[in-house]
Amino acid sequence: MQPIVWGIAASGSRCCKEVNEGATEMVSSSRMRARIVLAIASALIVYAVPSAQDGQGRGSTPVPFPGINAMKNPYRMIENWPHLGNVKPGAAIGIIPDGAGGTWIHHRSEPPIIHFNAAGEIVKSFADGMFVQAHGFCRDRDGNFWAGDSGPFADNPSTAGRGFQMFKFTPEGKVLLTLGKAGVSKAGTDTLVGPTACAIASNGDIFIADGHWPRPSTAQQDGDRIIRVTKDGKFVAGWGRHGSKPGEFMGPHALAFDSQGRLFVADRSNNRVQVFDKDMKFVDEWRHFGRPSGVAILKDDTLIVSDSESGNPIGGPPDAPEGGGNALRNPGWKNGIRIGSAKDGSLSYFIEGTRPEGLAADELGNIFGGLTGGCEASRSGGCLQKFVKK
C-alpha cells in the first residue's frame, strides 16, 4: 500500500528545564537529594549473566536476587492464561485491554494481532505476514488500531524493503492508511526511524515514539524523537533529538497521557521517564521507576511502569549512560513492574518475578505484561501475562 505523504511540520517548542507552572528554573539541591534518596530506596539490586536472545545480543538470565522485596505486591499472575491454541507464542510487545477483562495484543508471531476475551480465548485475529518486528500499538477514539513495525534490531538482508512503518486498521483488520516508507529508516515528515509506541491525545491526534535501540547500521542513528500526526495521518509536529539532555531521547519506548494531558515518555536507553506538558515542554524526569520499557496510566493517575532490561546486557548507542555495545544496562536495579502515582511520582507497589516489555492496565484492576523472552518458562503458558488483585 502506498504511504500517505505527510504535510509540512508545524513548529514545536524546544524542550528546556521547566517546572509544572512553566517557569524555567534550576532544580534545587534539596529536590535533587530527594530524587537520589527515592531512587536508592526503590532500587533492588540484581546480578546478571549474559544469554543471547533471538541472536541479537538482547537479554540475559538474571541471577536470583539474594534479598527480599520489601515493597508490597498486591497482585498475582493468572496461570495458563490466555489460551493460544495453535498459535505459536511470540514476544507480546503491544497490549490494549478491551475493558471487559480481555485484551488485544500485537505480538511477534502469526497472526500478529489477536483479541483474547476475559476467559483467554481467541476472538479475532488479523494482519498475517505484515510485520518485520511488531512494535507500538494503540487504539484511537474511532475504535481503529495503530500498529507499528520498528524494523529489524540488527542488519538483516532478509528484511530489506520492509519495516519502519505504522499501519492503521479497522477492528476487522482492513488497512486504512500507512505511515512511513517500507525499508526506509529516517526521521522525516513522511518517513520513520523505527516506531516503538503510540498514544492518543485528547483531540484524537496520535503521538508516536520513534527510534528503537538497538537498530541496524542502515538506520538513521540520531533521529530519536516524538511526533504527532492527525487521525488521517497528516504530520503535525515533531520534538526532540538523540541525546540525554531534558527533551532529548535515546530509544523512546512507550507513551502514556495522564489526566492533565501531560505526556509520559519511557526514555528507556536513558533509564528515565520524561514528563512533558500539553505543549511538549519538559516538566521533569523520573529515574526511580527503573529502566522503563512500558508505561501505562489509569484514570486516577495510577502510574505503572515495567522494567525488562535493568541488569542485562543490551545493545545500545555509543553515548548510552553505560556505553555502547552489549553493555550491562542500568545495573543495580531489579526487573519487574513498579506501581505509583503520576501526580507526584510516589511509589506504592512492586511486582517482581517478571520482565515485561509490553505493558497495559484496565480500570477493572487488571495489569497485562508482555514478555519478549523467557516465554517458555512463564506460568502464563506464553509471552502474555495477566495480573489480578490477590
CATH number of the domain to which 265 belongs = 2.120.10.30
Out of 67-71, 92-96, 314-318, least confident range:
67-71
Alpha-carbon distances of 19 from 28, 347, 371, rounded to whole Å:
11, 21, 35
Q: What residues make up the domain containing 329?
A: 29-389
Q: Mean pLDDT throughout 240-247?
A: 98
| pLDDT value of residue 326 | 94
Per residue in 25-43, pLDDT (tens digit) is: 333 444 444 444 444 444 4
Q: How many independent structural domains does the chain possess?
A: 1
Domain assignment present for residue 152? The answer is yes
Rounded CA-CA distance 129/336 in Å is 31
| pLDDT value of residue 69 | 76
| pLDDT level of residue 62 (50, 70, 90 thresholds) | low
Query: Is the pLDDT confidence value at 16 over 50?
Result: no
Domain assignment present for residue 12? The answer is no
Query: Could you give the residue ranges of the DSSP H alpha helices within the chain?
Result: 29-42
Query: Is the pLDDT confidence value at 279 over 60?
Result: yes
Q: Mean pLDDT throughout 44-55?
A: 36
CB under 8 Å, gap of 24 or more: what pairs does 155-164 form?
155/216, 155/217, 155/218, 156/216, 159/132, 159/183, 162/132, 163/131, 163/132, 163/133, 163/194, 164/191, 164/192, 164/193, 164/194, 164/195, 164/219
In the chain, pLDDT over 70 holds for what percent of residues? 83
Q: Mean pLDDT throughout 245-255?
A: 98
DSSP 8-state assignment for residue 27: P
Rounded CA-CA distance 370/184 in Å is 27
Per residue in 70-117, pLDDT (tens digit) is: 899 999 999 999 999 999 999 999 999 999 999 999 999 999 999 999
Domain assignment present for residue 1? The answer is no
Based on its alpha-carbon atoms, the radius of gyration of the chain, rounded to whole angstroms, reads 19
Separate counts of helices (H) and strands (E) for the chain: 1, 28
Per residue in 327-353, pLDDT (tens digit) is: 999 999 999 999 999 999 999 999 999
Q: Is-contact 38 286, C-beta < 8 A?
A: no
Domain assignment present for residue 59? The answer is yes
Ramachandran region, residue 270 (left: φ > 0; alpha: ψ -120 to 50; beta: rest): alpha
| pLDDT value of residue 18 | 33
Q: Is-contact 192 6, C-beta < 8 A?
A: no
Per residue in 178-217, pLDDT (tens digit) is: 999 999 999 999 999 999 999 999 999 999 999 999 999 9
Give the Cβ contact number of residue 161 at 10 Å: 9
Per residue in 369-390, pLDDT (tens digit) is: 999 999 999 999 999 999 999 9
Per residue in 120-168, pLDDT (tens digit) is: 999 999 999 999 999 999 999 999 999 999 999 999 999 999 999 999 9
Domain assignment present for residue 269? The answer is yes
Domain assignment present for residue 8? The answer is no
pTM value?
A: 0.85
Domain assignment present for residue 213? The answer is yes
Q: Which residues have C-beta within 8 Å of that of residue 155, sequence separation ≥ 6?
A: 216, 217, 218
Q: Mean pLDDT throughout 248-272?
A: 98
Domain assignment present for residue 175? The answer is yes
